[in-house]
Amino acid sequence: MNILRRLPLSRLLLLCGAVVALGAGLTAIASALDSGPTPPPQPLAQAVSKALNGPRVDGVTARITFANHLLEGANLAGGGGDGGNSIASNPLVNGASGRLWVASDGRLRIELQSAKGDIQIVYDGHTVSIYDGSSNTIYRYTPKQDASGSGASERGAQDQKSPPSVAQIEEAVAHLREHVNVSGATPTDVAGQPAYTVRISPKEGGSLIGGAELSFDANHGFPLRTAVYSSKSSAPVIELAATEVTYGAVDGSVFSISPPSNATVHVIEPSGEAPTGQNPPKTDGKGTLTGHGHGISTIGVLQTPAHGAQKEGGALEQLPTVSINGTSANELRTELGTILTFERSGVRYVVAGAVEAAQVEALAREL
């Protein structure tokens, strides 16, 4: 957590926005502005089966729009340094238009354009690179490989497998419905392509997560739209949308970007093994993570050794403040959750959950 505390507020929000944008980009391109043909109504399993058995897609090129309302209503007045102007103009936080390329082997590039500098997000099959032109900064993350290091060969083997049958899809959907609500396949059009939209939402209440939608091409099976919703609004909080889509091979040079030689580089180290179990304390020698509650409304508490009088002026310390039992705490409220941090008796606490600020603050007062 020390690296996060040392980052300025603008960099932390950029990184958070980048993760969100990349997670959306790996599964989608988007909803169209113009009307187009819609496919016939079909049960979900049949719609998925038909799409997966459609013509092979060698690649996708698209013009996109990205909308992000995650921080709307968040009080960032307490932000210091270059936070205000940088955050407001950053396309990952404020939204933007741009382009997207996806190769048949999973390589991806998203380009979001801004007057103060473009954002480039590239996955080359091994490493995720995020370049922020406004700050001339690049972030790199290389996921851990399995022991065999056979990721590429496994992808090739997967390509040779036949698509799942209707019965297998029905079984998978039934299993998913044990945990969340899953809608049927709603006929629609996305970027002029016939598509189906599926909505997933939590079965239990009490959180700010309202659900998520995914649209996929009815003929090719390619994901075409993704959106995340808050439980407080019917409009999407985050949405990636395409206005034009072209299917065809993508030149490999698209996935190579060359930031300026004087760019600042931040390497993000992969985390350790994911622990298992129901809300147990999790330690890595540097801190303890516990879960309070259950399901989607669980609130996490991370405790790490504090640095006493060494104030680093990092991202978390730049957020607006609230009082927790007389201790000044920094708090970020978003449309999908709350993050609260404070220091007491030599311990730094970070309390976060997909819930309202009052619930996070109430738990913090009990610590």
**Kind plus residue range of the DSSP H or E element containing 91:** helix 91-94
Q: How far apart, in whole angstroms, are the C-alpha atoms of residue 145 and residue 160?
A: 22
Structural domain boundaries in the chain: 2-32+55-164+206-267, 272-366
| pLDDT at residue number 275 | 42
Q: How far apart, in whole angstroms, are the C-alpha atoms of residue 259 and residue 115?
A: 17
| pLDDT at residue number 226 | 94
| pLDDT at residue number 72 | 75
Query: Which residue(s) pair with 351 in the sheet?
Result: 301, 340
CATH level 3 topology of 272-366: Phosphorylase Kinase; domain 1 (3.30.200)
| pLDDT at residue number 224 | 86
Domains 2-32+55-164+206-267 and 272-366 share a fold: no
For residue 2, how many other CB atoms are within 10 A of its CB?
13
Average pLDDT over residues 287-302: 92
Amino acid residing at 219: N
Average pLDDT over residues 88-103: 83
| pLDDT at residue number 12 | 47
pLDDT at position 231 over 80 = yes
| pLDDT at residue number 259 | 85
CA torsion sign for 89, 95, 97, 103 is: positive
Closest by Cα among 236, 212, 208 to 223: 212
For 157-183, what is each residue's pLDDT tens digit?
445 578 899 999 999 999 999 999 999
Q: How far apart, in whole angstroms, are the C-alpha atoms of residue 91 and residue 309?
A: 36
Strand order in the sheet with 299-305: 282-283, 288-292, 299-305, 347-353, 338-344, 327-333, 321-324
pLDDT: is 60 or 15 the higher one? 60
| pLDDT at residue number 285 | 52
Average pLDDT over residues 329-348: 93
The CATH class for the domain spanning 2-32+55-164+206-267 reads mainly beta
pLDDT at position 149 over 90 = no
Average pLDDT over residues 222-239: 92
pTM, whole model, 2 decimals?
A: 0.75
What percentage of the chain has pLDDT greater than the value 90? 51
Model confidence band, residue 55 (pLDDT cutoffs 50, 70, 90): confident
3-state secondary structure of 299: strand
**What's the token pair of residue 307?**
């640095």
| pLDDT at residue number 95 | 82
Average pLDDT over residues 101-125: 90
3-state secondary structure of 181: strand
Considering just the CA atoms, what is the radius of gyration of the chain in Å? Answer: 22
